[in-house]
Homo-oligomer: A and B are copies of this chain.
């Protein structure tokens, strides 16, 4: 998959009806914060949340998919009113196929953002493949667009702003 020009990214963004997001390193900064009393915490970002809120109201279907499993992700998903949440997923491509089928969507109608090797199979399928600035090299090398901001600090907001602008243009 070769790098696309910004015009091509724009064309791809216009067709998007669903955004599938990896969680750690994308919707968070990748920190796994562990405490001595068994607690686990994650850093989300208020501007990403505002973007997700806007996307939802504009009718974009939002999906979270994570290789790990954490109550924190459930809490954040509830807060953002995202109902499609898949955790403890070993093969993300299976979730990818499942949600496309459920909503009757084609690859070109789906954007996927992920930061690590486990995200490569769905990234190779998605109509718009995205990585945050902090993505590993193997992932950043195959996507259509790498966000300027890092995960958990605006990467998701940047993606949503791009998709909504492209669709409104």
Contacts and interface: CB of A to CB of B under 8 A. Distances in A.
Contacts of A30: 45-47, 153
A70 B49 CA distance: 15
B117 A36 contact: no
Given A39-B41, A136-B157, A32 B46 contact: yes
Given A25-B46, A41-B41, A47-B25, A34 B75 contact: yes
B37 A39 contact: yes
Interface string A44-82: 111101100010000000000000101110011000000
Interface residues of A, number: 38
Q: Which of A40, A152, A157 has the most CB of B within 10 A?
A: A40
Interface in A69-126: 70-72, 75-76, 115-118
A32 B49 CA distance: 9
Tell me whether chain A's interface is mostly helix, strand or loop, or mixed: mixed
A40 B38 CA distance: 10
Interface in A140-169: 152-153, 157
A46 B29 CA distance: 9
When A and B form their complex, which 9 residue pairs have the shortest distance between CB atoms, in order from nearest?
A: A24-B46, A32-B44, A35-B41, A36-B40, A36-B71, A30-B46, A31-B43, A34-B72, A35-B39
